Amino acid sequence: MAALTRSHTSRVAQAPICSSASHRNTYTAAIAFGANIGDRLANIQAALQLLPQHGVEILRYSRLYESDAAYVTEQPAFLNGAVAASTELSPKDLLAALKDIEARLGRSFHGQRWGPRPIDLDIIFYGGLSMQDELLEVPHARWAERSFVTAPLADLYSARELPCQQPGLAGMLERVHQVRSMPGHPGADDVGLRCVLPLPSNRLWQWQDRTAVMGILNVTPDSFSGDGQVDSIDSVVARARGMLADGADILDVGGQSTRPGAQLLSPQAEARRVIPVISALQADLETKDAVLSVDTFHSCVAAEAVAAGAHMVNDVSGGRMDPNMFAEVARLRVPYILMHMRGTPATMQSRENTSYASVCEDVGRELQSQAVQAIAAGIEPWRIITDPGIGFAKTAAGNLELIAGLQRVREQLSGPLHQMPMLVGPSRKGFLGKLTGHKVAAERDHATAAAAALCVAAGASIVRAHNVRAVYDAVRVADAVKGASTSAAFAASS
């Protein structure tokens, strides 16, 4: 989606969704969207981009879902989601605006009901209004029976929403949230409903299936972990093949050391290291289908890497070291790993940068602040992966507290970000060396595996690792234990 204009910046992802007395003619609505033919994601992005032209301002996004077709089942799967929006349009005028957008994007209104469509836009709630006539029924008649509607609507709910004096959209979303939170409700595990993260070339990553392992492919001679020596491009490709064989789901290519006190490379020097590697991985038959991430805080390197075949951008600065990063990632339309760090690698371990009132809450709030800016720049929440930044501007005690308190970090993230993937990277970090006495980073793989399992238990969706095989095994055990615990809890509540 193109970057939003400055007039939207202060409201996207943080505006309340209940009207106030000072905005008597402004109403809030929940609009569901779906698409199952053509370029589904491009159709959705185009539809959302057209909303402001009709006087509809997006306040909040849901996550992105893929769902099996309902009612008429012999058709392709849908991409679904929802937005909370503000508008001065009446319900019928809003309906007309949505129909105009559908028509502009090629939808025919003479085909099979519930059949294939390039875009579908529905008013689910319009404040707390109830109405019905021959053209429109609000709330939507079938919203409660459709998990591909209730799941996105629940994402729009925020426990921090200030209570409205009059029942409105916030109250309706709270009702959806309560229904989906009832004991015995399948929630996000609805049959046929998959939470997805879009990758380039129309690939979808079903990130809730299991914890993913990101293999660290350093191509820098001064990596703290000692694994960055590069003899040739062929040797890097061989390492990548080994990581994939050991179970890596993502390969993270980095050309710049971010160890404490590291000297930073220019974007040009960094690009000379990583772009040939990404190109070679794309050309190799054994690695060409791998999901590739570029580890960079330079927007120009991110752009070159995506052009060469990278699928996501991993920014250790969370957008703080390059003011153009958010806008560039929005243009690239790739997933963005937004990590927490204070200062730069040269200053991040200063007393000022490692001091927190409460490390989990402070890190969560600072991630949320950066995410709000990223969303305002045009990066949809369903593309954002957060990372609390283990080892970056943290003390050893702070790292341990973060791993134990990942849920407390999540609690500071609002809307869909609360439930979007979280990456954690404890691999071979110095605090593990202090705990185990291993001064050599490469000797910390057993400790890393233990930390990885604890991260999964605390709610991590992706674990970043140097030794992929060790962490893969630890993560599979942690996933199995976590799954057994969830199944037992569900059985007890049913």
Q: Quick one: which of 362, 371, 452 has its CA closest to 409? A: 362
Q: What is the DSSP letter of 135?
A: S
Count Cα neighbours of 370 within 13 Å in the Cβ-side half-sphere: 28
464 as an active site residue: the answer is yes
Phi first, then psi: give them for residue 187, nearest 5 degrees: 60, -135
Phi first, then psi: give them for residue 447, nearest 5 degrees: -65, -40
- In whole angstroms, give the CA distance from residue 267 to residue 385: 23
**Residue 451: which H helix or E strand, with range?**
helix 445-458
142 to 69, 123, 139, 152, 275: CA distances (angstroms) = 15, 11, 9, 15, 50
Q: Is the peptide bond prior to 381 cis by the omega test (within 30 degrees of 0)? A: no
3-state secondary structure 206-254: CCCCCCEEEEEEECCCCCCCCCCCCCCHHHHHHHHHHHHHCCCCEEEEE
Is residue 157 within 8 Å of 177, Cβ to Cβ?
Answer: yes
User: Which residue in the list 107, 429, 444, 469 is annotated as catalytic?
Assistant: 429
- In whole angstroms, give the CA distance from residue 5 to residue 44: 19
User: Which residue in the list 464, 469, 476, 482 is annotated as catalytic?
Assistant: 464
Give first-to-last CA distance, the chain, whole Å. 41
Any idea which residue has 């969706």 for tokens? 461
Sign of CA dihedral 140, 144, 150, 153: positive
- In whole angstroms, give the CA distance from residue 259 to residue 247: 26
Phi first, then psi: give them for residue 423, nearest 5 degrees: -100, 140
Crossing angle of helices 445-458/468-493, nearest 10°?
20
Sign of CA dihedral 336, 423, 386, 443: negative
182 torsion bin: left (phi>0), alpha (psi -120 to 50), beta (else): beta
Q: What is the DSSP letter of 259?
A: S
3-state DSSP call for residue 9? helix
Catalytic residues: 429, 464
